[in-house]
Amino acid sequence: MHITKDYDVRKAEFLDTAMRLFIERGYDDTSVNAIIDAVGVSKGAFYHYFKTKEELLDELAARAGDQAMAIVEPIVADPALPAIEKMNAMFARTNAFKAQNRELMITLARVFYSDRNALLRSRMTRRSVELTAPALARIIEQGNREGTMDVTHPAQTAAMILEFGATVVAGFARRLEEIDRDPAVGDELILSMRVYTESVERMLGVTPGSLTLVDDSIVRIVRGDTAESNGGKG
């Protein structure tokens, strides 16, 4: 029996199914027909929502960006928080989510950062930066007004910080599986994140040690334990 679903529900089903298949098989190795078969609809139904597989990929990237903004926007809009506290809160919230879902994060990192998903990764990272950079720029502009930051070009600096961070995270993700075999890798990864924090502090002109982009949550992701208390500062 044919079941007609609400437009948004069916579209979400396509996106969820496509993401699952991209993770399992890789973007290049997942055909439109495979997505259609997994959803259990006609080819015409797919093209009612998406002109091409690449358009579906763009939709996935946009959805991921929207999910990131759902975390970031309430922090940016909070009038009670100084700029530095807002920036720390942004990273703390995402770090905590990753730590609470460590095994899932490791599994996704293994697949997401594989060569076969290069296009998927690139598109989603670019979209995330495009959506998140304006929010970070607002924080930087606030920091300039408060005198805690000294940035001449907030918008460009915000995008650069996020792009730099994506590169660091990619290197981080590719080495997570090595930790169980070589604990020294964990120390190297934590150090790389602390160097990132120090670099961002210099880009923003803040007092050294002001930012806690690496906290106990990151240590838990790396080591899989309750973390030592000194994981916060770079």
Domain residue spans of the chain: 7-49, 59-223
Which pLDDT score is estimated for 110? 65
Residue 116 exposed, middle or buried by CB count within 10 Å (0-12, 13-18, 19+): middle
Q: List the one residue out of 88, 94, 90, 92 whose CA is nearest residue 210.
A: 88
Torsion of CA 99, 100, 103, 105, to 10 degrees: -60
Which pLDDT score is estimated for 215? 64
Each residue's pLDDT, cut to its tens digit, for the chain (234 residues) gives: 344 568 889 999 999 999 888 878 878 889 999 999 999 998 899 999 999 988 898 888 788 777 778 888 899 999 999 999 999 998 887 777 666 655 656 666 666 677 777 777 787 778 878 888 999 999 999 999 999 999 999 999 999 999 998 888 777 777 766 776 787 887 888 888 889 999 999 999 999 999 988 766 666 666 555 444 344 443
* CATH assignment, 7-49: 1.10.10.60
CB atoms within 10 A of CB 188: 15
DSSP 20-87: HHHHHH-STT--HHHHHHHHT--HHHHHHH-SSHHHHHHHHHHHHHHHHHHHHHHHHH-TTS-HHHHH
Which pLDDT score is estimated for 58? 82
8 A C-beta contact, residue 158 and residue 165: no
Give residue 149's region: left, alpha or beta (phi > 0; psi -120 to 50). beta
Which pLDDT score is estimated for 230? 40
Which pLDDT score is estimated for 222? 60
Give strand ranges (E) for the chain.
none
